[in-house]
Structure 1
């Protein structure tokens, strides 16, 4: 270490070259060290703009913007961004943004915060009064809250005005100072198609991704704007795409028209997170991106769309594929013909770079994953199979055994909640003790590199847990949803996982207070620092009401423990959980 005299000669942050300060700030941003960046910005006027640029580039994940510090801090951060577009702040905060979250973030501000008259007036005080738009009618808030009697805010128009102010400002700044636009990711709920098309044109080459609530607003004009002005655009996420315009309206105003206008083989990521009404036309248009697509995720596809998935069989460069159906949807692709299922399975098996494969509520999951597990050499790192049906007798074992083929690469596994094909939907899932599924545990125990294991809806007893503990020493996250009661010796056995950082037990437990304290005391303060423990169905008769020791020891590793208690058969409605931080 330097002596006191030596430290006097060391330069302060203000004396360091700007290039060094920038490198430091970029590293802090990469580590999400928002607090450190904030305090660094306070050290000197020469450091502030460099640190603030990195800080505001991460504004969408900051505690202030996420509401962690309360709604006033949340609103203050947004007001500072909007004020900068008027030239009323010391630094151009809006120009630092890499992500503009107008939907899930700014819209939430209006919903959750601006019903408070005082905060609303402060937020839209001059010079921002022109951004506020009220409904034309005279209807006022009726609930007896601080918003009682206030005119209702027109969210869509207000959000559009705020977005326009920010985009106009950064466009002007880039034009006048020849500075590259930083904004790369745009997320919004409900702006008109024409507005979105204009924004895309003006953001230009910097725009990389769009995240929209309703994909039905996409049309040919937006596709043209992206194709002509945004050569780096490669990522599209839709929360849902439900209205008829997704497929059936004017050919100028639907999702296929949008996709057909994009430059071929430029889109890398495409995701629909919830329900959708897309069909053959959209999937055919999406196939134009077959050589560039790396991630493809669908939720809530209709039977017609599932039948048309073979339109995508040329997309063999995929690294991530996800398919999630509605919880109550038991669509059977096999009933549509084995030829279709075999074609889809062969397609997935040809994706030689596939790292992440996920099917949830997919009746035919084992049929679709067969080639991937049994014949492919894809570097599979994450596999999720939930709520699926077993294949006819004799065909399941080979697929479950094939899990072990991926023991060198597989790091995350979620499996469970499967049904015998002879069972009705209402019956309970088949257990891991089913004659054809016991091989699952044998294969799991060979996955020595596994770091995340999620067993759901399984009849797994203490002996099975002992095998898992013995064979999977690298586990960092473990979630168990079983029907067998776990006791003290089962909890203490988890000490064999020296790297465990997250433990969730959604199964009946009868852990004693002494066992819980012993388990927490045995945690490694370095390797298990920050561990999260959730025990969700603890027997009330074993409820550890004396939490002092538990709190003290979990705090020693900066961890948290949540205890949820099983329903009291006497109908006691006391608190069902307690938290220790």
Structure 2
């Protein structure tokens, strides 16, 4: 007996496939039946940017083939198959703006990733798959190089220009589409200004260089993009004819006040005190602020952003080195006071910002500051005593990430263990290198005080099977990464898995630095993986410690 599913049920199924980013299933649905081809293709093209050429997409991306090839030629062949799929998709999007496709694919786009298209065009991929992308219709549309012979215009044989192709396709999409909410691009200021005038629903913008925001882009955003809230910039540096400090100040002041909610600079920049002050025009709206490469002069200006009422996320990284004199520490103290004044702040990340342990020892001492996430990278446990003592005030922390230099001094490790033991709400704990001096006894002492822990990444002195007792005290643990030197046995691992409970469902175990004389052979590894999958629907990763080369050993001996 056969029966037909109602159309709305089919659409619900397709929506679920879209939420799960099941690219293959969506594609199969699209080519199986006309009755839901349009909805399947609409969802597929909405997801086109979630698995881009640049970076390869998400880890569980199902639109790619696995790299099972054993030769370089076979690997390259598999890569070409992947690239061809994305080249075909981009070609279809471009042709749809010329009304030469089955459906208007450009209209399904919500996030226009022109950086991905630029990567596709600029990495030699197109040269190997030229016929897939440059069909006659698209080549005719893109080409603008003509010569004159008598009364005839002849197309030039000059090879395609990447920037021209990118702008041509991008312009065609933004002119036709009325659904774009986000865009990523690397274009010249006049081109960006032209794009902005045609994107009334734009909410987020990612650009390669802050120089693109000149040519009164702030005015264009204010007049044509009233919904823009998020801005991400890879870098903003001085150029021969441009000053990043002046340009950023002008851009931020051109925007409608209190509209920017998210501002991030990812890489090197020349933003200074004036740029920081200009951010004050968005003081009441700013919820996430992420800055890097600041000078001490720019850092000293942060307190001018008086108690930002909405700021929830603050990330400060890789500042320009400065002399640690009285003036430096006076500025750090003022910044600590400013952080304490950010009452809405919940997430704080520092990496080689200033004297970070000193800054945090002052900022975290106020119990009115209630963080849920704290990350500190690039410090020494022996220099962090005051910071660790102040950290105990943050009992609301759900996530703690500390990365730096560990110590063999017992007092250093015991103080950190004592501090973490007071953070009873922790759900995620990552201690990378900073816990290199931790022993099994340290973990057995700590585990009962963090019963809500769901994810743990730990390094240590040297772990054996007796450390599993500590991890069994964590009833909600679902991810455990052991990056410490270890000599676990297959029997010990299997016994540990057998004692896990229903709260550990989906448990992922990673042992990443095992001794080479372990009895966890390939067969044992396969057995552990199968048992973990069967009992808890879990996963298992295993890796041996890297062996020192002879040259490294000789160097150590000579030293």
Task: Give the Cα separation in 2 of the matches to 1:96 and 1:349.
Answer: 44
Task: Give the Cα separation in 2 of the matches to 1:499 and 1:42.
Answer: 43
Task: Give the Cα separation in 2 of the matches to 1:162 and 1:250.
Answer: 32
Residue of structure 2 in register with 1:182 after alignment: 179
Residue of structure 1 in register with 2:137 after alignment: 127
Residue of structure 2 in register with 1:82 after alignment: 94
Residue of structure 2 in register with 1:358 after alignment: 349
Residue of structure 2 in register with 1:421 after alignment: none
Task: Give the Cα separation in 2 of the matches to 1:282 and 1:503.
Answer: 42
Distance 1:377 1:135, change over 3 A: farther
User: 1:280-339 CA deviation, whole Å, 9 max, x = no partner?
Assistant: 22112222111111000112223332233233335342100011116xx65466642444
> 1:62-141 counterparts in 2 under 5 A?
62=51, 66=57, 68-69=64-65, 70-103=82-115, 105-112=116-123, 114-117=125-128, 119-130=129-140
Residue of structure 2 in register with 1:147 after alignment: none
Task: Give the Cα separation in 2 of the matches to 1:367 and 1:465.
Answer: 27
Residue of structure 2 in register with 1:302 after alignment: 295
Task: Give the Cα separation in 1 of the matches to 2:463 and 2:382.
Answer: 31
> 1:46-65 counterparts in 2 under 5 A?
46-62=35-51
CA root-mean-square deviation: 3.5
List runs of 5+ in structure 1 lacking aligned partners.
137-149, 171-180, 418-428, 573-581
Please, which of 418, 423, 427 is the counterpart of residue 447 of structure 1?
A: 423
Report the Cα offset of residue 497 of structure 1: 3.2
Task: Give the Cα separation in 1 of the matches to 2:280 and 2:385.
Answer: 32
- Are the equivalent residues in 2 in contact too, given 1:84–1:93 (CA < 8 A)? yes
Task: Give the Cα separation in 1 of the matches to 2:295 and 2:196.
Answer: 30
Residue of structure 1 in register with 2:489 after alignment: 512
- Are the equivalent residues in 1 in contact too, given 2:345–2:371 (CA < 8 A)? yes
- Are the equivalent residues in 1 in contact too, given 2:414–2:442 (CA < 8 A)? no
Residue of structure 2 in register with 1:259 after alignment: 252
Task: Give the Cα separation in 1 of the matches to 2:241 and 2:515.
Answer: 50
- The number of aligned residues is 513
Residue of structure 1 in register with 2:216 after alignment: 221
Report the Cα offset of residue 554 of structure 1: 4.5
Residue of structure 1 in register with 2:79 after alignment: none
1:467 and 2:454 equivalent? no
Task: Give the Cα separation in 1 of the matches to 2:124 and 2:276.
Answer: 40
- Are the equivalent residues in 1 in contact too, given 2:300–2:334 (CA < 8 A)? no
1:405 and 2:400 equivalent? no
Please, which of 205, 210, 230 is the counterpart of residue 210 of structure 1?
A: 205
Greater Cα offset, 108-117 or 119-128: 108-117
1:155 and 2:162 equivalent? yes
Report the Cα offset of residue 23 of structure 1: 6.3
Return the TM-score normalized by structure 2: 0.81
List runs of 5+ in structure 2 lacking aligned partners.
58-62, 66-81, 147-156, 553-559
Helix, strand or coil at the partner of 2:393? helix
User: 1:212-252 CA deviation, whole Å, 9 max, x = no partner?
Assistant: 1111221142111001111110111011112337973796x
Task: Give the Cα separation in 2 of the matches to 1:356 and 1:447.
Answer: 16
- Are the equivalent residues in 2 in contact too, given 1:226–1:233 (CA < 8 A)? yes
Report the Cα offset of residue 90 of structure 1: 1.9
Report the Cα offset of residue 476 of structure 1: 2.1
